Amino acid sequence: MLILQDRKLIKTPFDNEQELEQVVVNNYEYIFGPNSIYLPKTLIKTGDGTGTIPDGFAIDLSSKKWYLVEAELLHHNVWGHIAPQIAKQVIASLQPMSKKTIEDLAVDQYQNDDTTKEKFDDQKIKEIDVRKVLGEILNKEPIIGLPIDAVSGDLKEWARTLRYNVKLWTITKYVDFNDKNSVAYEFPEEFKPILDTEEEQEKDAKTGELTRYEVSMSDLIDKELIKPGQVLLMEYKPRQSSKKRYEAEIQEDGSLKVIDQIFSSPSYAALAGIQDAGSDRKTVNGWTSWKTESGKTLAEIRETFLNDV
């Protein structure tokens, strides 16, 4: 239950899978990251011509990874519904014609959507290189991306048996107890999946140490890789405005103070900056946005921490 002044918002099941799908479409950056683009569902076919329609495709331009997206409700049986459906979609997504279809969707979106174009610009991908970069990304194996309302043991065990990487994100619905039309959705902090088989494999290779998702600013402070009072820098230039520079002061608890506000995470702090600069972006990766005065990003410092534990 969530309490907002005198209101109570209680956890409530999704009306149907279509509701969850639309929530994902409207808020995909909170799942796949701020440098991702989301492509709508479209028919793709296996080598024998069997058609299937995933709920969408996401491409993360910063990590150069792509996702086959299927939003699911857990009450759909893992073995009778989710597993066979995903198997068919993966086989279809690997076909050259399917990848060409996805690439064409992405190029069309680039040409007709300013927000998509801005994301390519942010990654310094020139227009002449758009197809080349997309082709390189889609030439990799897809990650199975499953936004879901809850996760069972069977679902986790199934995901861990696949040769393809799987990420599961839980999305929770809340409804005002006294106003059924007042609805809120809870998304994971910092795009953190509840299960990431790639991160689990890396963790096992390092004999069970932390993953990137588990590292906090406080961890970096404890290892003296950063320190309270230290200033971090971020520059941001909206498409139609001049570049602006922001400073964030690291607090004792690892939070960041920027524009006279304190934020619990680097991403919220960075978002405050870019929106102050005039951007209408809803998300940003603060771990790659904030840099020390020597030019190191927080993400690079996090990797140093992970390599030393």
Confidence band, pLDDT 50/70/90 cuts, at residue 12 = very high
Residues 186 and 233 in one domain: no
Residues 164 and 286 in one domain: no
Is residue 212 in some structural domain?
A: no
Residues 190 and 233 in one domain: no
Give just the sign of the alpha carbon dihedral 160, 164, 49, 100. positive
Predicted confidence at residue 241, as pLDDT, reads: 74
Report pLDDT digits (tens) over 274-284.
999 888 888 89
Domain count, the chain: 2
Predicted confidence at residue 28, as pLDDT, reads: 96
Is residue 210 in some structural domain?
A: no
Residues 188 and 105 in one domain: yes
Residues 283 and 221 in one domain: yes
**Inter-residue contact 168 to 243 (CB < 8 Å):** no
Report pLDDT digits (tens) over 81-106.
999 999 999 999 999 999 999 999 99
Residues 165 and 252 in one domain: no
204 pLDDT exceeds 70? no
Is residue 7 in some structural domain?
A: yes
pTM of the model: 0.87
Residues 199 and 243 in one domain: no
Residues 13 and 38 in one domain: yes
Residues 118 and 13 in one domain: yes
Domain that includes residue 303, residue range: 217-308
Residues 247 and 131 in one domain: no
Please identify, among 148, 173, 205, the residue that sits at the C-terminal boundary of a domain: 205
Confidence band, pLDDT 50/70/90 cuts, at residue 209 = low
Please identify, among 205, 230, 252, the residue that sits at the C-terminal boundary of a domain: 205
Is residue 30 in some structural domain?
A: yes
Residues 47 and 97 in one domain: yes
Please identify, among 181, 205, 229, the residue that sits at the C-terminal boundary of a domain: 205
Is residue 211 in some structural domain?
A: no
Is residue 297 in some structural domain?
A: yes
| Mean pLDDT, rounded, of the chain | 92
Is residue 183 in some structural domain?
A: yes
Residues 95 and 55 in one domain: yes
Report pLDDT digits (tens) over 36-61.
999 999 999 999 999 999 999 999 99
Confidence band, pLDDT 50/70/90 cuts, at residue 206 = low
